[in-house]
Amino acid sequence: MRRPIETYLQNDWKTYSIFLLSIVAFLYIFRGIYVDDTFITLCYARSLARDAVWGMHPDWVSNAATSPLNVILLTGFIELGVDPLLAPYVYTSVLAVVVFVELLFVSQRLFGTDEWAYAGTLLLFTNPLLVSTMGLETYLFVTLVIACYICFEREAFYLLGAACGLLALTRPDGVLLLAIVLALTLLRRPVDALKILAAAAAVAAPWELVSWSYLGSLLPDTFFIKRMESSWSGFHFPGGILLFFLDYPAATLASFALLPFAPFAGPLIKKGPAGRDLLLILGGTALLHLACYGALSVPPYHWYFGLLCASGVLLGSARLILSYPQRWARMAAVGAVSLFGAAVSARAALTTGEMPIHSNWATARQYEAMAQWINQQPEIELFRVSHEIGTIQFYAKAHAINQFSDRRIIAEQVLTRERPAALQALIELNFKNLKTFEEPAGGHTLGVCERTPGTVMQRWTVRASWKPPSNEWCFVKN
């Protein structure tokens, strides 16, 4: 007879509370200095909360938010009265609590103690790469992957399907985990695979219909934007860890410190079906995800490594627990890795005002200064941005325009490319309901000076860890 989940949660609420409050206090350091793509997501959430429009600003519908579920959840926090700038921090803190509760259940089931719940949660939320994704969908994705595992173990197949559907709405590549759990279920009880598939479709299909008919494309525009971008200085996704190591050696080392232990997590199999399935679901999904992203040859954005990093943390820490019979040795190893990650992350935030790992050309504060200057020019209602748009649009009152906010740009870039006829037909079907909006008059552009011709109205010298040489940005009248 299966025990109710609540019986896995011991009543040591004081210890739980102190532990979680410590993580929440640590995460507070990173409020407001999110990466630019988080600010893009925030713009979507703010427009949805204030104007019921899916777009970066209230005048035009757009579809460049990769994770609809993430946007909707952030919108919920804003609707509850949380300041938009604090919403990613509050949201991530709530996810930390959810992850801890999930891992309490798994830890009790696998190891008979709460130890892995403390270790896993601490390592996940002090990991420099994962912390750098605050406000993006990475922590939500990890939360749902763990939820899928729990549902699989409890044989709650309808709930498992629903969780897989939510995972697909968190990122389209969430279907990879669905494929794995379907394969595992087909090997055991094929009829239950139909339950999973039906529930997943029931959750995900309504949004996909809205996306295709109302937003104008089944796939988010970011899929095409990132595919066209292809690489950074010759580095595609497979070489991303090396690229980040060159710029952020300590943060990258701390982020992937436990990954080498993950391949040796085989002893989990000795824990019975629960251990074997954890290895298959976490490890299998991460490897499949890694292979698919490598095949797509997308740029190495740091959050693309989030699942690999989180799987390395969870499986690697499980291996540590199995390796050291002495509790003090296990805790010392976990403490050393988490302290290293926390110190590296905090140092970046407190000394440079940046996330520990990112690929932005300027800091959030530098972009905010640009936007505040633009706000002092009342005649400017619209301007083009030739590079990163999220932070600038979040703070600017005028409308910032590029492919993330203007569907005409992405339509022109994607639909006019030469490709095989069959692929072209699929892409045209994806954009069958695309509607574009007339752009109001505007003749201003913001971008790197040497790439932005025109009459210079204002200059800023910016510098970020990702771009060591100073870059001069100009706001020009074309």
pLDDT tens track for 184-208: 999 888 899 999 999 999 999 999 9
| Percent of the chain topping pLDDT 90 | 58
Q: What is the pLDDT of residue 443?
A: 84
Quick check: 47 and 145 in contact, CB under 8 A? no
Written as six digits, the tokens of 25 are 């206090």
Mean pLDDT score of the chain = 89
Greater pLDDT, 90 or 388:
90
By mean pLDDT, which of 129-143, 293-307, 423-437 is the weakest? Answer: 423-437
Quick check: 23 and 122 in contact, CB under 8 A? yes
Greater pLDDT, 433 or 89:
89
Give just the sign of the alpha carbon dihedral 129, 130, 134, 135.
Answer: positive
Cα dist from 24 to 11, 21, 255, whole Å: 21, 5, 19
pTM of the model: 0.93
By mean pLDDT, which of 130-139, 148-157, 186-195, 368-377 is the weakest? Answer: 186-195
Question: What would the pLDDT profile of 292-306 be if each residue is shown by its tens digit?
Answer: 988 888 889 999 999
pLDDT average, residue stretch 405-425: 79
Question: What would the pLDDT profile of 18-44 be if each residue is shown by its tens digit?
Answer: 999 999 999 999 999 999 999 999 999
Which amino acid appears at position 322 of this protein?
L
- The pLDDT of residue 439 is above 80: no
Q: Which residues pair with 384 in a beta bridge?
A: 401, 445
Strands 455-464 vs 444-448: parallel, antiparallel or unpaired:
unpaired
- 3-state per-residue secondary structure call for the chain: CCCCHHHHCCCCHHHHHHHHHHHHHHHHHHCCCCCHHHHHHHHHHHHHHHHCCCCCECCECCCCCCCHHHHHHHHHHHHCCCCCCCHHHHHHHHHHHHHHHHHHHHHHHHHCCCHHHHHHHHHHCCCHHHHCCCCCCHHHHHHHHHHHHHHHHCCCHHHHHHHHHHHHHHCHHHHHHHHHHHHHHHHHCHHHHHHHHHHHHHHHHHHHHHHHHHHCCCCCHHHHHHHHHCCECCECHHHHHHHHHHHCHHHHHHHCCCHHHHHHCHHHHHHCHHHHHHHHHHHHHHHHHHHHHHHHCCCCCHHHHHHHHHHHHHHHHHHHHHHCCCHHHHHHHHHHHHHHHHHHHHHHHHHHCCCCCCCCCCCHHHHHHHHHHHHCCCCCCEEEECCCCHHHHHHCCCEEECCCCCHHHHHHHHHCCCCCHHHHHHHHHHCCCCCCCCCCCCCEEEEEHHHCCCEEEEEEEEEECCEEEEEEEEEEEC
Greater pLDDT, 229 or 289:
289
Q: What is the pLDDT of residue 70?
A: 97
Quick check: 476 and 453 in contact, CB under 8 A? yes
- The pLDDT of residue 421 is above 70: yes
pLDDT average, residue stretch 91-108: 96
Half-sphere exposure of 261 (CA within 13 A, CB side): 24
By mean pLDDT, which of 126-140, 340-354, 428-442 is the weakest? Answer: 428-442
Q: What is the pLDDT of residue 381?
A: 87
- The pLDDT of residue 1 is above 50: no
